[in-house]
Amino acid sequence: MLSFDMEQLRQQFEEVFAAPADRSFFAPGRINLIGEHTDYNGGHVFPCAITFGTYGLVKKREDDVIRVYSLNFEEVGIVTFPVTDDAYEASHDWANYVKGVVTLLRKDGHDINGFDFLLAGNIPNGAGLSSSASLELVTAYMLNEVYGLGLERLDLVRLGQRVENTFIGVNSGIMDQFAIGMGKAEQAMLLDCETLHHDYAPISLDGYDIVIMNTNKRRELADSKYNERRRECDTALGLIQPKHEVDALGQLSMDAFEQVAIDLPETLRKRARHAVSENERTKLAYTALQEGRLETFGQLMNASHASLRDDYEVTGLELDTLVAAAQGCDGVIGARMTGAGFGGCAIAIVRQDKTEAMIQETSDRYVATIGYAPTCYIASVGDGVRELVEEEVK
């Protein structure tokens, strides 16, 4: 994983743009502690911001030229375009995320001039921890501050999702941008993705670590299976609605579901059962954290993975191997996949004095079955997008 400090980044900015940066910003990545595939089913998610993320250093220009450079994609070089360029261009690669933010802000009537912008991220590549949303939010927050646009955090969150949906062309929900924009240190948030009502719960991890475990598997099936699962849930909902008046599966309790789902085809019943049970687990997890019952939270994580494996069928050999290995280690109170599935990451909560041994044992078991190693990181729960002060050295 890349590691940065601000002095290093300031020096690299001067090397690239031949002038010092004016200001520095940071947007985190995110993990979802529990509540997977519930967002589009009218349920709740439970994400938090992490201390890995995207750094952005900026200097305003006197003209209308935008120049962007990423230390993660040095082979792309400096991407240059006028502020009036509002077209997605494949040759601009990752810089389309910056261009998308600029384009939508200008379409909303905000005045933005040229700037030089250096980006550097240490979110594990391909891990499903929302590097794209992190890039969108660090850009949006930077422009809001530098140009005094007066937008609220929630405005920036919605902007990031609009960029993803309308400029990049990915039909994602709002959880990633919301967690990154609204995150708080040592807090997770219970979020209703429909209403955006949210409540914070303290993550009291005294003596415990959150370990992110990357399967290092490419997620080829994630998009197609994601769309398939959405269709299956919509079909199940349509069959349930004549029996029970609900607008979404997340509005059902498990008791109500068991009564109305008897006649559903087996596959649709399994998909809907996950959506309903996972939403209940997520609300129970929020209460458990509020009350400091970490062991209960861990048990809910384990149950979440079992449901994603057996009812929703979005895990796969790599994630199941990784999670089972972690769950079998001394000191682990809970582990589950996080994200869309079919690769990406799992997370575990483990006693700190057992963390090193757990990472080694889990890696050994994974290699024995899969043939290559996972990558493990110890994560901290941090604040959302912000401007960096001089004392913040990462």
pTM: 0.90
CB 153 within 8 A of CB 102: no
Q: What is the pLDDT of residue 30?
A: 93
pLDDT, tens only, 344-355: 899 999 999 999
State the Cα angle at 150 between 146 and 154, rounded to 5°: 105
Residue list, annotated binding site? 36-39, 70, 126-132, 164, 226
Q: How many whole angstroms separate alpha carbon 112 and alpha carbon 128?
A: 31
Q: What is the pLDDT of residue 181?
A: 98
Residue list, annotated binding site for ATP? 70, 126-132
Q: What is the pLDDT of residue 176?
A: 92
Q: How confident is the model at residue 204 (pLDDT cuts 50, 70, 90)?
A: confident
Q: What is the pLDDT of residue 280?
A: 97
As a whole number of Å, the end-to-end CA separation of the chain is 13
Q: What is the pLDDT of residue 8?
A: 92
Q: How many whole angstroms separate alpha carbon 194 and alpha carbon 228?
A: 21
Looking up tokens 């690239």, which residue turns up? 16
The single residue of 22, 64, 85, 176 carrying the catalytic annotation is 176
Could you give the 3-state DSSP secondary structure of residue 26? strand
| Cβ neighbours of 11 (radius 10 Å) | 12
Amino acid at 1: M
Q: How many whole angstroms separate alpha carbon 218 and alpha carbon 262?
A: 37
Residue list, annotated binding site for Mg(2+)? 132, 164
Q: How confident is the model at residue 389 (pLDDT cuts 50, 70, 90)?
A: confident
The residues, ordered by sequence, that sit 6+ positions from 48 with a Cβ below 8 Å of its Cβ are 30, 31, 33, 179, 183, 187, 188, 189, 203, 381
Q: How confident is the model at residue 194 (pLDDT cuts 50, 70, 90)?
A: confident
- Candidates 163, 148, 183; CA nearest to 32 is 183
Q: How confident is the model at residue 5 (pLDDT cuts 50, 70, 90)?
A: confident
Range of weakest confidence among 46-55, 124-133, 242-251, 364-373: 124-133
Residue list, annotated binding site for substrate? 36-39, 226
Q: How confident is the model at residue 393 (pLDDT cuts 50, 70, 90)?
A: very low
Residues linked to residue 57 through DSSP beta bridges, in sequence order: 24, 118
For the chain, the residue count is 394
pLDDT, tens only, 58-84: 999 999 999 999 999 999 999 999 999
Side by side, which strands form the sheet with 23-32? 79-82, 65-70, 115-121, 47-60, 23-32, 386-387
Q: What is the pLDDT of residue 343?
A: 87
Secondary structure E strands in the chain: 23-32, 44-45, 47-60, 65-70, 79-82, 115-121, 187-192, 198-202, 208-214, 332-338, 345-351, 375-379, 386-387
Helix (H) or strand (E) holding 323: helix 317-327
Q: How many whole angstroms separate alpha carbon 167 and alpha carbon 85?
A: 13
pLDDT of residue 128 exceeding 70:
no
pLDDT of residue 381 exceeding 60:
yes
pLDDT, tens only, 217-275: 876 655 678 889 999 999 999 999 999 999 999 999 999 999 999 999 999 999 999 99
State the Cα angle at 177 between 152 and 35, rounded to 5°: 125
pLDDT of residue 135 exceeding 50:
yes
* Same CATH fold assignment for domains 6-202+382-387 and 208-379: no
What does the domain layout of the chain look like in residue ranges? Answer: 6-202+382-387, 208-379
- Candidates 154, 150, 152, 172; CA nearest to 162 is 172
- SS3 helix, strand, coil % of the chain, rounded to 5? 45, 20, 35
Q: Could you please state the CATH topology (level 3) that the domain comprising 208-379 is classified under.
A: Alpha-Beta Plaits (3.30.70)
Average pLDDT over residues 151-169: 95
Return mean pLDDT, the chain.
93
More confident residue, 5 or 54: 54
The residues, ordered by sequence, that sit 6+ positions from 281 with a Cβ below 8 Å of its Cβ are 34, 35, 300, 303, 304, 307
State the Cα angle at 235 between 226 and 168, rounded to 5°: 35
Q: How confident is the model at residue 281 (pLDDT cuts 50, 70, 90)?
A: very high
Q: What is the pLDDT of residue 71?
A: 95
Q: What is the pLDDT of residue 394?
A: 43
Q: What is the pLDDT of residue 291?
A: 93
Q: Is 64 a catalytic residue?
A: no
Share of the chain above pLDDT 70, in %: 95
- Candidates 223, 249, 220; CA nearest to 236 is 249
| Dihedral pair phi/psi, residue 335, rounded to 5° | -155, 150
Q: Is 371 exposed, middle or buried (0-12, 13-18, 19+ CB in 10 A)?
A: exposed
* Domain formed by 6-202+382-387, architecture: 2-Layer Sandwich (3.30)
| Cβ neighbours of 289 (radius 10 Å) | 24
- Candidates 335, 281, 378, 293; CA nearest to 46 is 281
Q: How confident is the model at residue 148 (pLDDT cuts 50, 70, 90)?
A: very high
Range of weakest confidence among 4-8, 42-46, 326-330: 4-8
